[in-house]
Amino acid sequence: MGQPQSKPRFPQPGDHIYCQRKGGLYDHHGIYVGDGMVIHLRGAAKKLGELPGCHKCGDKRVENGEIAKVCIDCFLDGGTLQIFDYGVPLLEFIARKRGTCCQRDSKPPHEVISTATDLLERNGFGPYDMLANNCEHFAVYCKTGSAASFQIEGHIATGPAGMLAGAAVVAAFGVSKGVSKTSSSW
């Protein structure tokens, strides 16, 4: 039977996209802004230096601190493109893997792109923090105006098994001190 999934399609400008990383240990999220480009918040490993050159990104690539605009291939880094769904019914939300959908409604695509672009230009989303300010927080904020990470919440909600998985992520990637943020602090 499996989990309900969105129908495969190419992303449209303003879509929240994601792909699995580290064999499915976590998902990486960003906003597709059109013309084959994605704006996303980079994690600690990616922000330490410049991204490697890419013939597809070329002069369209923009990096501003921890936020980057890159081609979809660089964003996916070999992963499979998935589209995050908004406005899903409660039962579907419960049945699906955390970090793939939410019940919240999305802003119109032009507002989503405007928010992502503004945050990129200002480097205005704050420092990356795996638990409190990650790429999913960024993408959900761009789509809804309120930051959330459903995959982190899912790990916490699943109790000991989720906490063990979360601890494995922390051990593998490290975590800076978690700081709660409101939209006014970005």
Give catalytic residue positions: 28, 40, 135
34, 71 in Cβ contact below 8 A?
A: no
| Cα gap 28→79, rounded to integer Å | 9
Scanning the structure block, which residue is given the tokens 């709660």?
Answer: 180
Two structure tokens written together for 36: 């084959």
CA dihedral for 161, 28, 32, 132, sign (positive or negative): positive
SS3 state of residue 131: coil
Q: What's the DSSP call for residue 59?
A: G
The beta-strand segments (E) located in 2-61 are 16-21, 26-34, 37-41
Give residues with Cβ within 8 angstroms of 179, minimum separation 6: 126, 129, 132, 133
119, 42 in Cβ contact below 8 A?
A: no
Length of the chain: 186
